[in-house]
Structure 1
Amino acid sequence: MDSLKKKKINPFTISTTQTAIANMCKEEQTCTNPSCFFCTMKEPEPSLRRVAIANFFKEMPFTDHQDQVLVLSGLWHVAMTHPDDPEFPSLGIFKCMANLIYKGINDRNWLLKDQNIYIPYYAAHVIGSYTMNKVEFTEIAVQQGVIPPLMELLRGKISWVEQRVAVRALGHLASYEKTFEAVAKYEEEVIKLAMKLACTCLEVVYINFVGVKNINKRVKYHCDLLTRGIGDSEMEDRKGEEWASQLQCWCLYLLNCFACKERSLSLICTQDFLEKLRGMWGGLVNHSSPAWVGLVRILCYSKDGRKYIAESKEIIENVCNLSRSSDDWQYMGIDCLLLLLNDQNTRYKVFEIIALFVIDLVELGSLGDRPNLGETITKALLLDYKQSKVKFRNQRVQRALQDVWNLKVERRKKEKLMSEDKLEEKRVLVCLIKQEANHMFWLGEIEEALAKYTEALDLCPLKSRKERMVLYSNRAQCHLLLRDPDCAISDSTRALCLATPANSHSKSLWRRSQAYDMKGLAKESLMDCIMFINGCIKSGVTKRVKIPYYAARMISKQMDATWLFAAARSKTTSSQARKVKESDGDYECNNDEQQRGEMMRVMIENKDFLSGLSTIIEEPLLVKEVNRRKVERARRRSKKAVMARSM
């Protein structure tokens, strides 16, 4: 091991297989440590190597070698790259990791010695990696006592970085039927901690890391974990945003594990938490997670969950907005609304809100793996159509239902009886009326054009989906110019439902993005604008595609508004908040907080023993992001303003 130090081998250059770990000591001739893990891995006899590894795992938590972090980083690499390999789980690695976490929590002197500060993080991550896929590994982990130390980390005994990997590991353990009850022994505390952490983690990470603009005052080992020890402040910010999002989403995943078993729903579904839940967006940073809507859908699967969700007007409105967006999780929003509409106990509590949104989706075709989704929505709306006329006094709802009935029932019957010649006559007439409407539009007679587009839509055969798509989209533009964003959203949504595939009509996406912007719905506007730009790129003939300046400007505006830390940033604008942000971490609330603050100060001041360490590579996340620099370059290349596209 002495030669490793002489060679200054970074612990994060360790290879990703057990053989590679053994090869690190291939040239080692003078290792004086009889219990060297890397030498143990060189043992050619499998049975002897297994015995030696098992003994090493037993002894490691009770020894004090300065190179232990090298071993932990090697174990982490193996766990990340070979999470299904049974060798280490069968030899006691879980008990070893649990004891190391306990040691870090209980022995502060040891934790701040050498590079031991990294060990609890890696130990919890090793547990989480081995419990991702194999239920038999989770059973071994529970038997070897990993849950109590993970709970200590979840309680915040060290920092948010360790909380992140603790909640990840607990989520894996709670997701399996055989180990769920072991986590459920702490049910009330786990749920309360996960809820609190989901609500506060973004502010914590911002105040204690991302918002600390003086990089010398950031906790050094956090920087190294985030950027592999080689990144600049920009990379630290980007990774900090990604990890904060993961922390929040994994908290929601842990809550999902209880919600899907209908456990503690009254605790999860407090109105205060539901109000905060609607802002927990997986978004562009952590796009593989459905975040808030994933938990809402799980709740909507149960009778009690639907009752709680139906009582939250804020959640219902958010789900309705999601259902009329181009977000990847649109189908989840529609699922939630259908579940509420098809339950007689919640149908009439939410109908007057939901109906005015989902009527725009009745002509939706396939969405993902859901065929004829518009027909399913129509059936849910017209489930008790005749009784609905009496139940709902809201005239807008009555008119909306009447429109759906006329469109999906009456007109369909009439057109089935029409001859092809008669239908062709209607198409020709619609074309003439559309030309009149376009002419009026370009003369600036917007209201008259809108009336003509409406007339054309009333005549246009239902089978002429493409023509009706254009008419709806053009009418949406009229509503935009008349400053009526609600009607513009409605018409552009109907146009996008008629597109093939759904949500692929560029003009309608851009018009709805503008309408959402007028209403202050930044996330929905952003998603539509991204889809609009994607359409521009796909339709480009050459490789050099110029992004319209107006779309680049909208992207920039909405990305700033929907930034993960936007709310946290707004809270730190006062002088007091800035003082907290620029402080050295000594925010004092109680004894535990004071101890953590003291530990953070020591870690910041003692930079030498924290240098040279780097981070993990997480499980792959499907990240959907827009490159700000490319957008800005495209905008600068534009020599003049590009007018909105013609009708």
Structure 2
Amino acid sequence: MDSQTRKESICTSTMIEQPCSNPRCFFCILKEPKSSIRRGGIKRCFEEMPVSDNEEHVLVLSALWNIAMTHPNDPEFPTLGIFKCMANLISRGINDRAWLLAGQNIYLPYYAAHIIGSYTMNKVEFAEKAVESGVITPLIELMSGRMTWVEQRVAVRALGHLASYDQTFEAVAKHEEITKMAISLASTCLGSVFDMFVGVKDKNKRLNYHCDLLTRGIGGVELQNRKAEEWASQMQCWSIHLLNCFAVKERSIDIICTRGFLEDLCEMWGGLVNHTSPAGVGLIRVLCYTKAGRRGVAESKKVIKNLCNLSRSSDDWQYMGIDCLLSLLKDPETRHKVIEIAIFFLIDLVELRTLKERSNVGETITRTLLLDFKESNSKIKIDRVQKALQEIWVLKVDKRKKENLMSREKTEETKVMVSLIKQQGNQSFVLGKIEEAALRYTEALKICPLKFRKERTVLYSNRAQCHLLLSDCDSAISDTTRALCLSNPPNSHPKSLWRRSQAYDTKGMALESLMDCLMFVNSCCTKPTKDVKIPYYAMRMISKQMEATCIFAASRAKLTNTYVIRTHESGNENVDFIHDNGVKGKMIENKAFMSSLSTILEEPFTSNGGSSSRRKLERARRRKNSALSFSY
């Protein structure tokens, strides 16, 4: 970045317009036209800043933060000692509480850690210089919670960048405590942000500098909460990224693969807030690339079940769930532990062609599942698994061979027969003979050639609707998944998406239901019509599942339960909860950091007619949905 650009950036960010009489003013030094004098002055400022007391330090660091964010590859400040300056400012903030609480120094550790992270995210040479300048120890102290969650967020971000380079990884890894700290932060950060900020009932008791950092001093409570949610998600994702750096190097695998943390990872899906982060499943996938990691993942049935659910969802990270399961199934040491669960999910994906630019996905799944099929009589003793393997063999091997030998005339005759049986099923459904309709669709699927993918899509989807009406949600999910695998592109058949969303909702799988419902709404918006109308029932489902999948949903539920219990025990409805945010004294104006949370529940679906009218409206909605969602 040239000198003039920096001058304009600094002047804009600091709003300095009056001439300055201070010969050591950082902003005046930046305006110095002579490069040698300017660089010498900047270097001297970086040396003096940590040991001097100046109320303008916060303005200087705010400007440096702005420059680091917009021009992270500019080498001037990194070569003049900015990393050592930032490290010393962080250390002073942690160890000198009187200085930290003076003026606006409370902002300095946050800005300092953010500046380190911004300058080290792209350039390995900057990362090496930062390590040489001693930034790791103060960053680890911030990450450990010596101040607040706001500083933890930027500290773990900076450490993640340093750990991502081969040249600086060992400098981070030699601090053995960092892995456990990252695990703890990933698992607890959402609850901490909720307890210390979002869930504070009296909004005036929030730390002012947190509010300022979140919204840059602009915006009310709603914007603060939205940004806090985003920052909490980022902190969790950056903690996972730091652990990912260790897992890639096959370091600390045993520590990461503790069952409790692996199960926590399954809930850290990301995507809803940080759209490019695979979050927990990304780390699980890396672990599955190592033998020790596969052993750890395979030990938890809950983790395997979550990977299975992901593998047949419309989540953006569906392919990661499939990759993890295939890695576990290809390893002889973990195959027998995984196949007993995974086969009943992956069997629905064997006709999947492409997924996220990956071709022949279904064929890969089929080959992996049938690896030892011929020897399965001696290796796999579970009848259900044997039956599922046999089903895959019949569908993907025997049936394909028979169809290759069929003449064109015979194929057309079969297609006509399939159509007739499907019409019989439709008629049975209209007459309310749901079980009979399901049998007709099953009969049609048995004879329908594999190459008639559109016909098979409708048959599976219609049979899924029958399963829904018969309250067989697992079968409905299985059939809709098969229909979505046959659709082109995959996961694009609207009615199957809606039906699977309903089935997931019935099973209490909010995230999976939400993803399918979003895909369903998206398909409505892609129709070539001017007036796009999103169905009310879909928006109602989205609203319900967004509430259930909010990153603070678990914290709210936990607090609600605690509130009820403590209110019952105390006999007092006005029960306050005490939260220690780690920063006391002047920062909170010498007041106890107290907060109480109201019970947050979904608003009841009511009408003026009372419960009777509500039931009538619900019945009308169900009849309407059933009529709209059935495909013939």
Structures share a fold, TM > 0.5? yes
Deviation at 1:346, TM superposition (A): 0.7
Residue 391 of structure 2 is aligned to residue 391 of structure 1:
no
Contact 1:167-1:247 at 8 Å conserved across structures: yes
Contact 2:421-2:440 at 8 Å conserved across structures: yes
Name 1:553's counterpart in structure 2: 540
Contact 2:189-2:236 at 8 Å conserved across structures: yes
Whole-Å Cα distance in 1 between the matches of residues 239 and 328 of structure 2?
25
Deviation at 1:389, TM superposition (A): 3.3
Using structure 1 for the length normalisation, give the TM-score.
0.88
Residue 108 of structure 2 is aligned to residue 119 of structure 1:
yes
Contact 1:83-1:129 at 8 Å conserved across structures: yes
Instruction: Write the letter of the residue equivalent to 1:142.
Output: V
Contact 1:586-1:601 at 8 Å conserved across structures: no
Whole-Å Cα distance in 2 between the matches of residues 536 and 16 of structure 1?
51
SS of the residue corresponding to residue 456 of structure 2 reads helix
Contact 1:226-1:236 at 8 Å conserved across structures: yes
Residue 135 of structure 2 is aligned to residue 146 of structure 1:
yes
Of 335, 344, 354, the residue aligned with 2:332 is 344
Deviation at 1:278, TM superposition (A): 1.6
Is there any run of 5+ residues in structure 1 with no aligned partner, and where?
1-14, 588-592, 607-627, 629-637
Of 292, 298, 305, the residue aligned with 1:310 is 298
Of 368, 381, 405, the residue aligned with 1:417 is 405
Name 1:477's counterpart in structure 2: 465
Of 112, 116, 126, the residue aligned with 1:137 is 126
Structure 1 residues 527 and 16, CA, compared in 2 at 3 Å: closer, same or farther?
farther
Of 54, 60, 85, the residue aligned with 1:96 is 85
Deviation at 1:545, TM superposition (A): 2.4
Whole-Å Cα distance in 2 between the matches of residues 389 and 172 of structure 1?
50
Indicate the larger mover: 75-84 or 396-405.
396-405
Sequence identity percentage: 63
Q: How does 1:317-328 map to 2 (within 5 A)?
A: 317-328=305-316
Whole-Å Cα distance in 1 between the matches of residues 110 and 590 of structure 2?
15
Name 1:564's counterpart in structure 2: 551
Q: Deviations over 1:527-555 (max 9, x none)?
A: 1011111111112611x422212111211
CA RMSD in angstroms, aligned pairs only? 2.3
Name 2:588's counterpart in structure 1: 601
Whole-Å Cα distance in 2 between the matches of residues 180 and 17 of structure 1?
34
Contact 1:492-1:509 at 8 Å conserved across structures: yes
Deviation at 1:605, TM superposition (A): 10
Q: How does 1:602-621 map to 2 (within 5 A)?
A: 602=589
Deviation at 1:356, TM superposition (A): 0.7
Structure 1 residues 446 and 157, CA, compared in 2 at 3 Å: closer, same or farther?
same
Of 416, 425, 444, the residue aligned with 1:428 is 416
Whole-Å Cα distance in 2 between the matches of residues 427 and 205 of structure 1?
59
Contact 1:585-1:600 at 8 Å conserved across structures: no
Whole-Å Cα distance in 2 between the matches of residues 243 and 158 of structure 1?
16
Whole-Å Cα distance in 2 between the matches of residues 376 and 328 of structure 1?
20
Contact 2:369-2:389 at 8 Å conserved across structures: yes
Name 2:30's counterpart in structure 1: 41
Of 584, 602, 625, the residue aligned with 1:643 is 625
Deviation at 1:48, TM superposition (A): 1.8
Structure 1 residues 519 and 584, CA, compared in 2 at 3 Å: closer, same or farther?
closer
Name 2:391's counterpart in structure 1: 403
Of 500, 522, 546, the residue aligned with 2:510 is 522
Residue 419 of structure 2 is aligned to residue 437 of structure 1:
no
Deviation at 1:585, TM superposition (A): 4.5
Instruction: Write the letter of the residue equivalent to 1:322.
Output: L
Whole-Å Cα distance in 2 between the matches of residues 646 and 490 of structure 1?
17
Name 1:218's counterpart in structure 2: 206
Whole-Å Cα distance in 1 between the matches of residues 19 and 248 of structure 2?
56
Of 270, 276, 279, the residue aligned with 1:282 is 270
Of 29, 50, 58, the residue aligned with 1:69 is 58
Q: How does 1:369-384 map to 2 (within 5 A)?
A: 369-384=357-372
Of 46, 71, 88, the residue aligned with 1:57 is 46
SS of the residue corresponding to residue 32 of structure 2 reads coil
Whole-Å Cα distance in 2 between the matches of residues 37 and 604 of structure 1?
36
Structure 1 residues 581 and 384, CA, compared in 2 at 3 Å: closer, same or farther?
farther
Q: How does 1:164-243 map to 2 (within 5 A)?
A: 164-187=153-176, 189-243=177-231
Contact 1:584-1:601 at 8 Å conserved across structures: no
Contact 2:101-2:587 at 8 Å conserved across structures: no
Deviation at 1:369, TM superposition (A): 2.0
Instruction: Write the letter of the residue equivalent to 1:288.
Output: T
Name 2:613's counterpart in structure 1: none
Deviation at 1:600, TM superposition (A): 4.2
Whole-Å Cα distance in 1 between the matches of residues 242 and 83 of structure 2?
20
Contact 1:533-1:547 at 8 Å conserved across structures: yes
Structure 1 residues 584 and 426, CA, compared in 2 at 3 Å: closer, same or farther?
same
Deviation at 1:520, TM superposition (A): 1.2
Is there any run of 5+ residues in structure 2 with no aligned partner, and where?
568-572, 594-601, 603-616
Contact 1:72-1:119 at 8 Å conserved across structures: yes
Whole-Å Cα distance in 1 between the matches of residues 451 and 17 of structure 2?
77
Instruction: Write the letter of the residue equivalent to 1:549.
Output: Y
Contact 1:22-1:40 at 8 Å conserved across structures: no
Whole-Å Cα distance in 1 between the matches of residues 121 and 526 of structure 2?
37
Instruction: Write the letter of the residue equivalent to 1:487.
Output: S
Deviation at 1:275, TM superposition (A): 2.2
Residue 232 of structure 2 is aligned to residue 248 of structure 1:
no
Residue 150 of structure 2 is aligned to residue 161 of structure 1:
yes
Name 2:614's counterpart in structure 1: none
Whole-Å Cα distance in 2 between the matches of residues 267 and 242 of structure 1?
28
Structure 1 residues 317 and 236, CA, compared in 2 at 3 Å: closer, same or farther?
same
Contact 2:128-2:168 at 8 Å conserved across structures: yes
Q: Deviations over 1:176-212 (max 9, x none)?
A: 000000001113x101111111111111111111111
Residue 252 of structure 2 is aligned to residue 260 of structure 1:
no
Whole-Å Cα distance in 2 between the matches of residues 210 and 68 of structure 1?
29
SS of the residue corresponding to residue 285 of structure 1 reads coil
Whole-Å Cα distance in 1 between the matches of residues 502 and 17 of structure 2?
66
Whole-Å Cα distance in 1 between the matches of residues 15 and 506 of structure 2?
66
Whole-Å Cα distance in 2 between the matches of residues 539 and 122 of structure 1?
47
Q: How does 1:476-555 map to 2 (within 5 A)?
A: 476-539=464-527, 541-542=529-530, 544-555=531-542
Structure 1 residues 50 and 582, CA, compared in 2 at 3 Å: closer, same or farther?
farther
Contact 2:473-2:507 at 8 Å conserved across structures: yes
Contact 1:499-1:505 at 8 Å conserved across structures: yes
Name 2:436's counterpart in structure 1: 448
SS of the residue corresponding to residue 572 of structure 1 reads helix
SS of the residue corresponding to residue 136 of structure 1 reads helix
Deviation at 1:410, TM superposition (A): 0.6
Structure 1 residues 293 and 599, CA, compared in 2 at 3 Å: closer, same or farther?
farther
Q: How does 1:359-370 map to 2 (within 5 A)?
A: 359-370=347-358
Whole-Å Cα distance in 2 between the matches of residues 23 and 387 of structure 1?
75
Name 1:3's counterpart in structure 2: none
